[in-house]
Amino acid sequence: MQQNSLMKSTLVYCVLFVAAAMSVMLYYAATKTVGVADLAQDEVVRPSVQKEEGAPAVPTKENEIAIDRTEMSTNYFCIPMPESVKAEEVVLENHYMDKELWVCINTEQKKDYEAFYRTTGVYGYSDNVADGHFEAEQDRICLCFALNGVYEYRSIFEDHTLYVEFVSSKEMYEKIIVIDPAYGGEEQGVAVEGILSKDITLDVAKALKTMFDESDVKVYYTRMDDTNPAASDRVGLAAATKADMLIRIEVSGDENSKLYGTSAVYNSQYFIPGFGNVELADLLEREVVTSISGKACGLIESSEEDRVVNSATVPAAAIRVGYLTNSQEAILLQREDYIRRIAEGIYNAVMKAYSA
């Protein structure tokens, strides 16, 4: 009897201990360090002096976020969050073409959060941050920070604060390329009967994204919508990220409607030893032609109009995927499977470049 009583007492204590341990773990998960938006986690280097509650300066504009630049003894840019915000509600968006970091909070309490950021600023390491403001959207509020360059981020969420560390692209990724879908916005490229070159190049870029997202190559895209970044911004992205190569996607056109096929443009005036402009152009043309079972029109030296290819300081080439002015090729360039095969050719060229 005594042994049975002892066993029952032991079992009760074990159950109580497990329940207590689970409670502590749940509390810790709800309030302590949590990774945000699938970004790499890192240990927070805390400021030597913690901010007092309500201490941040009041913004001078209605939607401006005040930045306290007096406390810099941390590697992290520190963004206080309302107490009701959970880590899974926070998403970091890298608007690298605009050199902006957006910290977006999914919420139905936009008014409360707007009031919070009218009186609560940010602090910590802010050398990379020019200014900040918040914008209320349909189902979220976004804190938008203008930066002085293109960065990647490591972040964690702890004690109602988001800690963001700015890191260079090369520090985060070993293989980096830039894909530049030509045209955009009012610049339509060659247009034939409502078919626009700007849409074709964007379709190829989107097909490429599905492929590269499953690879170990980090890809930056100069546009993924109907915008038209300046040539200097397209080239600047490759320089800022220290990309290994820049690939521009274009569409050909000519008064001679019988012309068709694939060509590649390179800058012969800027020589890069080893794998350079002409090598990239040759590889792109061969792989795309092979993938689509098409006709190779050869390599073309860049002209004054090829500003992106001419200005790049990394291996760069433009692949011209077909003639929209050729009726048969125009039909092909509207087919999803053909666009995918073009993308496969570009993808294969990149992979062979890295394996060479």
Which pLDDT tens digit goes with each residue over 312-329?
Answer: 999 999 999 999 999 999
> Which of 167, 184, 204 finishes a domain?
167
Specify the pairing of strand 129-136 against strand 140-147. Answer: antiparallel
Locate 22 and state its tokens: 């689970």
* Residue that is written with structure tokens 């690298």 in the block: 96
301 and 344 both lie in a single domain: yes
314 and 179 both lie in a single domain: yes
pTM of whole model > 0.85? no
Locate 69 and state its tokens: 């630049």
Side-chain half-sphere CA neighbours of 341 within 13 A: 16
Helix (H, G, I), strand (E, B) or coil at 165: strand
The CATH code of the domain that includes 203 is 3.40.630.40
The DSSP bridge partners found for residue 266 are 301
195 and 74 both lie in a single domain: no
- What is the distance between the alpha carbons of residues 286 and 24, in angstroms, rounded to a whole number? 61
3 domain-assigned: no
> Which of 167, 188, 205 finishes a domain?
167
The DSSP bridge partners found for residue 319 are 249, 264
119 domain-assigned: yes
136 and 191 both lie in a single domain: no
Which pLDDT value is given to residue 108? 83
Which pLDDT value is given to residue 138? 85
Which pLDDT value is given to residue 45? 33
Low-confidence spans in the chain with pLDDT less than 70: 1-61
Phi, psi of 154 (to 5 degrees): -115, 140
Locate 96 and state its tokens: 């690298």
197-202 contacts, C-beta under 8 A, 24 or more apart: 197/250, 197/251, 197/253, 197/324, 198/226, 200/251, 200/321, 200/324, 200/333, 200/334, 200/339, 201/249, 201/250, 201/251, 201/321, 202/226
Locate 212 and state its tokens: 């590269």
27 domain-assigned: no
Q: What is the DSSP string of 210-263?
A: HHHTTSS-EEEES-SSS----HHHHHHHHHHTT-SEEEEEEEE--S-TT---EE
Which pLDDT value is given to residue 61? 62
Phi, psi of 47 (to 5 degrees): -60, 150
Which pLDDT value is given to residue 9? 55
> Which of 117, 146, 167 finishes a domain?
167
As a dihedral over the C-alpha atoms of residue 306, residue 309, residue 311, residue 312, rounded to 10 degrees, the angle is 170
- What is the distance between the alpha carbons of residues 331 and 38, in angstroms, rounded to a whole number? 40
**What is the extent of the structural domain holding 57?**
34-167
194 and 126 both lie in a single domain: no
Which pLDDT value is given to residue 82? 95
Burial of 252-277, coded b for 16+ CB within 10 Å and e otherwise, reads bbeeeeeebbbbbbbbeebebeeebb
Which pLDDT value is given to residue 199? 98
195 and 324 both lie in a single domain: yes
Provide the residue count of the chain: 356
Domain count across the chain: 2
126 and 179 both lie in a single domain: no
